[in-house]
Structure 1
């Protein structure tokens, strides 16, 4: 009986105080949340991008359990919350493994009985989302479910319609599950761009009153800020920093670097995470043997690296949200080159904070970037002007960690 009463208490519709992509969504008055579960498909992504949300919840007295795929979270991370490792296949829809994920998640939810669940990225949204809805029946757990879609990725972006029949079938399955979840009470969706939100609204997957946009994962301006002017004149340092994927534009960046390999006034740097199981990944050994670039591997001190470069280049063809590297670059006052897609346009104002690159074939994108870099070589002061304009844009928008985390905490705890 107690569980049924508790279930009724929390099964309320998300309500909106305003309509549109920045609507403030919340429940009516309710008891403070004490147990919250966070589920993310990859531990590295969680620690790099979403940990501040958990730390904010802990500071407010919540008991937080984090469940991630990828590598097991090390014991050296800041605590006050508990971590559970669970196998999550990030790259494909696999019926047996995904059903196992749903069953394990259901068991954990029924056992822990969280008051709220935050599902980050598409795989947890679909399979753990179903488990969370089913877990309401026996336990009354998870009265509210917050689903965060950082970007539509390769599966759900518009270009996915041209993929194989397996990808199209997976897309259809995911769409039906999202529509099912959206029809349930107490479920809210967040996106990083209004473009992604509007796509799902147009397809009828979500509703106006249970979805909103939050700009990125948040960047701490106390760490990411412009550094002192460089004392020595040297080559223009151009950085690609992202996952080591061709779809992120790494192949295009290397093509540009090869074109300028004999120019002593340019230096091309690559920093990023290895994706050993992604068929689209570029192996580190390939980059280490590439004479036109300097491969840095994974970099722990990104603020220091960004303060040492002049230009960030992300010729992505991926289904991005707002690329974090572009937000970090703007916070550090670094000019940017990025593909002319919605997420990049949130940071890059063409000709003001950098240049937007028309999406196209690899050769065409290489040519466009080479022309932009040639322009910077002809007018080195333009890099400084674009970088300063990018920093002003960062300060004028809600890209800070404090602003972003505050919005997530409000959705999860109804403050």
Structure 2
């Protein structure tokens, strides 16, 4: 372990995200600092090997970020408290809800010098359907308590809408120190440009199978289009599991049948599937940070169709250099219309894809985002 520089503790709710979303940042941090991670159990051997190669200190837990379990959460809080006391980090960097809520409070109690929680989207808890739910009310109260202003605290957002939302809910005040970065960024060397197939147009959606991601809307749009164009392929990648907003068994059965959509489940590498697709679709109203799947698709030169909703709208450039379309939330008719546009204007698939790559280079390059992250953590 590198013993120079500062000691940094990264806390997450998914081991997959460590290298997928934070890999490049960790690579930069370990060059001059000691880096430790507190993560749910690592199930991918490649992640474990990469962290070992980088000499990152790994501590694992049994947290399930998607489910509610009081006893599990209490055990998690105790483990994290003991770890912070043991490591005494100079910088505490949690991301996603449970690590942010629990970790930020504990870091304050342990008097960590720099606390930089990142909210990678506000998720289901701030969608219209969730506003009156007991769980969402509890989450918002816990978030307010956790993020009470402190001179050692600086909160990181992935879009300005999320910051405004927390101001409106009086979870934050104008006195809070905040920073906004362009999502998690995308590695433009890893996600290389590949010309899209415009002769055999196909569509791809990459998402967990929860309602607010727009799974139903994507399925209905596919069903509608296949009535007239039965040979058009629609693919779906993403995990199906327990979540407060998981799609119904009925919709899942329809998807699994393969009659309308080809369901590929969860995959380790999305690149071959993006390469095979002509257009990538995400009709989400979930409360995204900035959807990583759209950034990856833009980097590979794919036109995108997404919702005019928080986080998603950040990925569409102005009409002067269009890289895709925004559609109203839950509007299947408009989603179908934009899909049909690409079926009738296949050359736009290529030009919009090239524009998307240029937009990704300008705004979402992971090296640009990580430079901002280092400034926020005062490590540059």
In the superposition, the TM-score normalised over structure 2's length comes to 0.88
| 1:300-339 aligned within 5 A | 300-339=268-307
| 1:27-106 aligned within 5 A | 33-60=5-32, 62-69=33-40, 71=42, 74=45, 75-79=48-52, 80-92=55-67, 94-106=69-81
Structure 1 range deviating more: 116-125 or 299-308: 299-308
Residues 159 and 226 of structure 1: CA distance in aligned 2, closer, same or farther (over 3 Å): same
Structure 1 range deviating more: 242-251 or 292-301: 292-301
Find the counterpart in structure 1 of residue 154 from structure 2: 188
Q: Identify which of 139, 143, 149 aligns with 1:174.
A: 143
Aligned pairs, how many?
A: 367
> What is the SS of the residue equivalent to 2:375?
helix
Q: Distance in 2 between matches of 1:338 and 1:70?
A: 32
- CA-CA distance at 1:71 after TM superposition: 4.5
* Consecutive unaligned residues in structure 1, runs of 5 or more: 1-31, 137-141
Residues 110 and 78 of structure 1: CA distance in aligned 2, closer, same or farther (over 3 Å): closer
* Consecutive unaligned residues in structure 2, runs of 5 or more: none
Q: Distance in 2 between matches of 1:107 and 1:222?
A: 39
- CA-CA distance at 1:73 after TM superposition: 6.2
- CA-CA distance at 1:70 after TM superposition: 5.5
1:226 aligns with 2:198: no
Q: Deviations over 1:160-215 (max 9, x none)?
A: 6633234323322322332x2xx222111100001111222342515456101011
Find the counterpart in structure 2 of residue 4 from structure 1: none
Q: Distance in 2 between matches of 1:377 and 1:229?
A: 13
Residues 269 and 161 of structure 1: CA distance in aligned 2, closer, same or farther (over 3 Å): closer
Q: Distance in 2 between matches of 1:368 and 1:228?
A: 26
Q: Deviations over 1:69-126 (max 9, x none)?
A: 2555643334210211123242355444333322221111111111111011121111
Q: Distance in 2 between matches of 1:279 and 1:165?
A: 12
| 1:137-152 aligned within 5 A | 142-152=112-122
1:298 aligns with 2:269: no
Q: CA RMSD in A?
A: 2.5
1:253 aligns with 2:218: yes
Residues 321 and 166 of structure 1: CA distance in aligned 2, closer, same or farther (over 3 Å): closer
Question: If you compute each CA radius of gyration, which structure gives the higher value, 1 or 2?
Answer: 1
- CA-CA distance at 1:299 after TM superposition: 3.0
Residues 176 and 161 of structure 1: CA distance in aligned 2, closer, same or farther (over 3 Å): farther
- CA-CA distance at 1:405 after TM superposition: 1.7
Residues 109 and 216 of structure 1: CA distance in aligned 2, closer, same or farther (over 3 Å): same
